[in-house]
Amino acid sequence: MLDLKKQIGVLGDSILKGVVFDEIRGTYSLLAESCGNLLQKTLGINIVNRSRFGSTIDKGRKMLEVSLKRDPDLSYMLLEYGGNDCDFNWDEVSRDPDAEHLPNTPLAAFKQNLDEMIEILKQKQIRPILMSLPPICGNRYFDFIVSRGRNADNILRFLGDRQQIYRFHEMYSLAVTRLAIEKDCVYVPMREAFLAERNSLSLICSDGIHPNEKGHRLMQEVFTQMALA
């Protein structure tokens, strides 16, 4: 249970920033009725959201230092990273699929950074909140990657199959879950909530990686249930 009178900080990437893919314009935009905005409106939660589009945990580590200086009254800090960390430089993969390609943040470095961020928060008497990652759709994301002129055959050759993208993503989400348990953090089972839906793909944008408006409503429900439990 969360104390709704306390200030909650949010550090993450485009998911909690409220970014969605505008299918008509073919560009990204901010969702007015995002999860965070809905929570502030319906529950009156005091949220300081410093999430950034494209952020990896390395950028999050730097943003944590900024947030601790700018937001001295935080009682909780929600950390949401992994989606960009597990991604690859698809231009390089497209040009040379047989070369060695590492994720933006290798898994060991991701876990170490997240562990250290948790410890920093605890030292500041701020309760860490960790959230499992909403699942992606491997097929949609593959199509999105190659829709921008990249070599589909080469990228598939590197991956082995389209669903390998999903599995990369799941490894990072599982790492978050394990750390939440090991470090006694507040844990938000977001991935589990999405996967429990009969048609979970209806919650994800056509780019395969961002929750859509319906997905943000589900995210709001998960957080609300935790806050009111």
Q: Nearest CA to 50 among 13, 16, 10? A: 10
Q: Is the pLDDT of residue 1 over 70?
A: no
Question: For residue 123, what are the contacts with CB-CB under 8 A and spacing of at least 6?
Answer: none
For residue 146 the two structure tokens come to 């190659």
pTM of this structure? 0.94
Q: Is the pLDDT of residue 95 over 70?
A: yes
54-75: pLDDT as tens digits: 999 999 999 999 999 999 889 9
Most confident of 1-10, 38-47, 90-99: 90-99
**What is the pLDDT at residue 44?**
84
DSSP label of 227: H
Beta partners for residue 136, in sequence order: none
**What is the pLDDT at residue 48?**
94
**What is the pLDDT at residue 148?**
83
Rounded Cα–Cα distance for residues 226 and 224 (Å): 5
Q: Is the pLDDT of residue 139 over 70?
A: yes
The residue ranking higher by pLDDT, 89 or 40, is 89
- 130 three-class SS: strand
C-alpha angle 64/203/165, rounded to 5°? 70
For residue 21 the two structure tokens come to 């893919």
Is there a contact between 157 and 198 (Cβ–Cβ < 8 Å)?
Answer: no
Rounded Cα–Cα distance for residues 34 and 37 (Å): 5
Task: Read off the pLDDT of each residue in 146-171 and give the average, rounded to a whole number.
Answer: 96
Q: Nearest CA to 158 among 175, 142, 172? A: 142
7-39: pLDDT as tens digits: 899 999 999 999 999 888 889 999 999 999 999
